[in-house]
Structure 1
Amino acid sequence: MIDGYDLPDEAPGEYIPLREDRGLAKAYRPNPLPPKLAVSSEIVEELTSAAYALGQLDGVAGEVEQRNAIFSSFVYKEAEQSSQIEGTRVTVSDIRRYEMGADKIEQLEASEDELDDIREAKNYIQALSEGISHFNEVGRSWKNIDQSLLKSIHETLMVGGRTDEDDLMPGEFRYDHGDFVVIKEEESWKKPIRFVPPKPNMAHADLDALIEYIQSGGDYPTLIDIALIHYQFETIHPFRDGNGRVGRLLIILLLISGDTLAHPVLYLSSYFRQFRDQYTDLLLNVSEKGVWEEWILFFLTGIRRQAEEAFVRAKLLLVLRDRYKTTYATAPTSVSRLTEGLISKPYFSVNEAAEMMGMTYQSASNAIEQLVADGRVRQFNDQRRNRIFEAIDVTAIIEYDYAQLPEPRDVVDRDTVDLPLDIGP
C-alpha cells in the first residue's frame, strides 16, 4: 500500500481516510465495474488460447459415460490447493480418508487444528456441489448469482473449520456488523498493512453494484469479465474471513453458470498458489495504478494453463481405464469390476469396494488382494480393521509433476498415448 492518498487517474478507485484511533489511516474503495479497457492483441491472443483450452477440456466429457467418474478427483484437487493457499498442508488423501469416516485425530494422525483444516477443505467440495445444484435447479445463468448465493456458499465453507478470527460469522457479510478487514503482509520486514478493503457501509453498496454487473451479463468476453469480477470481489472483501475461498469458488461457478464449462474440472487454485506473490501484487497494482492488462493476461494464462493440464490428466485417466480393460479382460469378474471403479474412487475400504462392484465382501477382498499383488493398489493406513486402500496409478496421474506431463496435442488420440513409465500395468 502506497503512502498518502493520491492515485493516478488510471486507478479504478480511491483511498478513503479512516479514523486514526482505529490504527488505520485509509481504506480503498473500487469504482463500479466495468472499467474502460484497451483490449490489446496480447489479451486477444491469450483469450483465444484460453477459450480453446476450456473447450478442449469440456470435450473430454463426451468421451465418457459417467463423467463424475473421471472428474471427481479434480474437484478434490481444487479443494486441496485452495486450502493450501490459506496456509494448510491438507492433501487429497486427507480429505478422502475424512470422508470415509477417519474423522478422529488418531485415525488421521493429525492435530486438532489440522483436523479443522481438513474439514474446511471438505467444506469447499460441499460448497461447490451446492453451488452447482443451485444452477441446476434455477438455470445456468449469471442472472441467478446474488447475495443469497454468496452467503450460502460462505456459510457452508466456514462452518466447523479453523480461522484466526474468534467469530467466523458464517453466511453473514461483515458490513452487517460494521466490521473492518485488514490484509497484512506475510513477511514481517515489510509494512505490516498491505491493504484495507472498503469501509463496511461502502462495501455494502459496492457488492450490490458488483452483483448488478454480474447479473447484467457483463460488458466484455466472458473470461475477461470473470477476471474483472474476481478482482472486484477480492477488493471489496465482503466477509470477515474466507473471502479468498469464496472468490476462487466463484470463478468456477461463473464458468459453469455462463456455460463456458460444463463440469467443475478446472483447479485454478493450483495456479494461484504457485504464483501467489505475483497474484497479490497484480491485484494491488490494479487498485493503485490501474494496470489491468497485466492482471487480465495473468488470469487468462492461468485459465489456459490449468485447462490444458486438466485435459492432459483426464486423457491419461482415460488411457489408464482402457489399459485396465485390456489387461484384466480375462481376469475374474470381481477384479475387472474393481478396476472399473478405481478412477472414480481412488481411496476405498473393502465395504466400499463391494458396494462399488455390486458383489460380496469376500469377492471384493479377493479382488483387492489381486490388485495389491499386481502393484495397482496398496493399503493406505496401517490398521487391521477399517483398512483404506489407494489406487496407486490414479493418484499418480493426479499428482504427476506438471513439468513432466505430455503436451495436450500429444494426448488427443488415446490409442497413441503412452502412460508415464512408472504408471499403469
Structure 2
Amino acid sequence: MPLREDKHLSRAYFPDNLPPTIDLGEDVTVVLARAMHALGRLDGLVSEVENPSAVFSSFVYKEAEQSSQIEGTAVTVSDIYRLEVDELDEPPESEHERDVREAKNYVRALEAALDYLDTAGRSRESLTIGLVQDLHETLMDRGRTDEEDPLPGEFRPDLVHIEETDEYGRTQVRFVPPPPSAVEGKMESLLEYVRTGRGWPDLIDVALAHYQFETIHPFKDGNGRVGRLFVVLMLLCTDLLVNPVLYPSSYFKRHRDEYTDLLLAVSEQGAWKEWLQFFLEGLRRQSEESFVRAKLLVQKRREYERRYVDEADSVRLLATEMFAEPYFTVSEAAELIGRSYQTANRAVERLVADGVVTEITGNEQNRVFRAGEVMDVVERPPSELPNPTDVIERSSSFRLYDR
C-alpha cells in the first residue's frame, strides 16, 4: 500500500547487504544437516523414477496452491487443473476465479523459469534481476490485483508498508521496506550475492536470500509469491534438487505467524539464528512430506502397471501417463498417449468402468475426467498422510524402481 513519503520515510528499513556476520553454532548446523539429508533422500527417490516430471508435476501445482493460500485465498490444486480444462465452476472474473488464475500463473512462471534455466544452465549465475522481473510479470498477468495495476515485471515506484491488525481490530503499520529509490540497488546486491555466494552452505544462502528478498519487497504486489518461487529456483540452481518436487509454502502456511514474525525479528533484533533454524526445519519437514506423497504416487503408478499389464496398450499407457494430467478430456488423453481419439476414448471408458477415473461434468459432449486416486494423494491433508518416519524406514531397506 502506498504511503506518504514525507510521513513514513524515516521508518523505512534499509537491510544490510548479504552476508550477515553470524556464527551458525551447533543449533543451526544440526538442523542444516537434517535438512540436507531429507532433501537428498527426496531427490534420490525422485531420481529413480523414469520421467519424474510426468509423475510429480502435480507438486508444482501443490506449491502454487499453498503459496496462494498464504495470501488469503481458497485456491486448491483441483481448481487450477479445472481452470486448465475450462471446467472451473465459477463466474468469469469472480474473485475466486481471479485467485485461481493467479495460482495458475504461478505454475506458468515456474515452467517458464525452468525452460530458461534449461537454456542458460542450472547454476547460480543464471539467477538474474531479469529472471525475477519475468517471474513477477508472468505471475501478475490478469490475476488478483485488487483493481490496481500491479505493474507486472516492474519495481515499485512508491513507498509501501506492511500492516497488521491488533486485538481490537485496529490497523497499524508493522514494517516499512526501503524506499523505491533504494530497491534496484538492493536487488542488484542481493542477486550478486546469490550468483557468487561467500562460502556459506548453499541451503544457508537460500534462507538468507529469502529473508533479503522479502525485506526489500521490490514489487507493488506479489512479493511473497515471487520470493517463495525463487526459493524453489535456488534449490534447483544449487543442485540441492534436480526436479521441483518440494513445496515449501505448505510449511510457511501452517506456521504463518511464526514465518512473518521471524522475518521481522531479523530486521528488528538480528535474529538470524532463529530464522535459519525455522527455515531449515521447514525445508526438512516439507522434504519428508514430499517424500511420502512421492512414494504413494510411485506405488499407485506401479499398481496400475500391474493391473493393466494384460490390457490394451492404450489402457496401460493412459493409466500411467495421466499422473501428468489428472484432469483431462478425451482429446487430451489421445495426445497424452499418442493414440487416435477413438482409441483414447475406449481407454478412458475402461478406466471409468474400474473407477480409476470419473467423469465430472455430467455432459455427453466436452466431457472432463478426473483421476481420483491420484488427486487423493496430491490433496490429502498432511495430517492424514502416513507417518514420514514409518515410510522412510520401510524405504531404506530396498531401492524403489518405477519400472
TM-score, structure 1 length as denominator?
A: 0.87
- What is the distance in 1 between the residues matched to 2:300 and 2:5? 62
The one-character-per-residue Cα deviations of 1:293-317 (angstroms, maximum 9, x if unpaired) are: 1111110011111111111111111
1:95-244 matches, within 5 Å, as 95-102=80-87, 107-108=89-90, 112-164=94-146, 166-174=148-156, 177=157, 179-186=158-165, 189=169, 191-244=171-224
**Structure 1 residues 162 and 36 mapped into 2: Cα distance closer, same or farther (>3 Å)?**
same
- What is the distance in 1 between the residues matched to 2:61 and 2:259? 22
Q: Cα distance, 1:23 vs. partner?
A: 5.9
- What is the distance in 2 between the residues matched to 1:147 and 1:48? 30
Pairing partner for 1:327 from 282, 296, 307: 307
Pairing partner for 1:405 from 373, 376, 386: 386
- What is the distance in 1 between the residues matched to 2:116 and 2:214? 23
The higher relative CO (CA closer than 8 Å, separation ≥ 6) is in 2
1:299 matches 2:279: yes
Q: Cα distance, 1:95 vs. partner?
A: 1.1
TM-score, structure 2 length as denominator?
A: 0.91
Contact 1:315 1:414 in 2 (8 A): no
- What is the distance in 2 between the residues matched to 1:210 and 1:48? 25
1:78 matches 2:63: yes
Q: Cα distance, 1:108 vs. partner?
A: 4.1
- The DSSP-based 3-state class of the residue aligned with 1:185 is strand
- The DSSP-based 3-state class of the residue aligned with 1:28 is coil
Unaligned runs of 5+ in 2: none
- What is the distance in 2 between the residues matched to 1:367 and 1:344? 16
Pairing partner for 1:348 from 310, 328, 341: 328
- The DSSP-based 3-state class of the residue aligned with 1:329 is coil
Contact 1:142 1:254 in 2 (8 A): yes
Q: Cα distance, 1:135 vs. partner?
A: 1.8
1:391 matches 2:371: yes
Stretch deviating more after TM superposition (346-355 or 359-368): 359-368
1:50 matches 2:69: no
Stretch deviating more after TM superposition (45-54 or 127-136): 127-136
Q: Which residue of 2 aligns with 1:374?
A: 354
**Structure 1 residues 21 and 30 mapped into 2: Cα distance closer, same or farther (>3 Å)?**
closer
Contact 1:256 1:264 in 2 (8 A): yes
- What is the distance in 2 between the residues matched to 1:390 and 1:411? 30
Q: Cα distance, 1:410 vs. partner?
A: 3.7
Q: Percent identity?
A: 49
Q: Cα distance, 1:101 vs. partner?
A: 3.5
1:253 matches 2:233: yes
Q: Which residue of 1 aligns with 2:344?
A: 364
**Structure 1 residues 301 and 376 mapped into 2: Cα distance closer, same or farther (>3 Å)?**
same
Count of paired positions: 394
Contact 1:267 1:306 in 2 (8 A): yes
- What is the distance in 2 between the residues matched to 1:220 and 1:329? 50
- The DSSP-based 3-state class of the residue aligned with 1:29 is coil
- What is the distance in 2 between the residues matched to 1:108 and 1:354? 27
- What is the distance in 1 between the residues matched to 2:397 and 2:223? 40
RMSD over aligned CA atoms reads 2.2
**Structure 1 residues 277 and 32 mapped into 2: Cα distance closer, same or farther (>3 Å)?**
same
Contact 1:348 1:390 in 2 (8 A): yes
- What is the distance in 2 between the residues matched to 1:218 and 1:72? 33
Q: Cα distance, 1:147 vs. partner?
A: 1.4
Q: Which residue of 2 aligns with 1:5?
A: none
1:277 matches 2:257: yes
- What is the distance in 1 between the residues matched to 2:395 and 2:323? 19
- What is the distance in 1 between the residues matched to 2:191 and 2:147? 27
- The DSSP-based 3-state class of the residue aligned with 1:390 is strand
- What is the distance in 1 between the residues matched to 2:238 and 2:25? 24
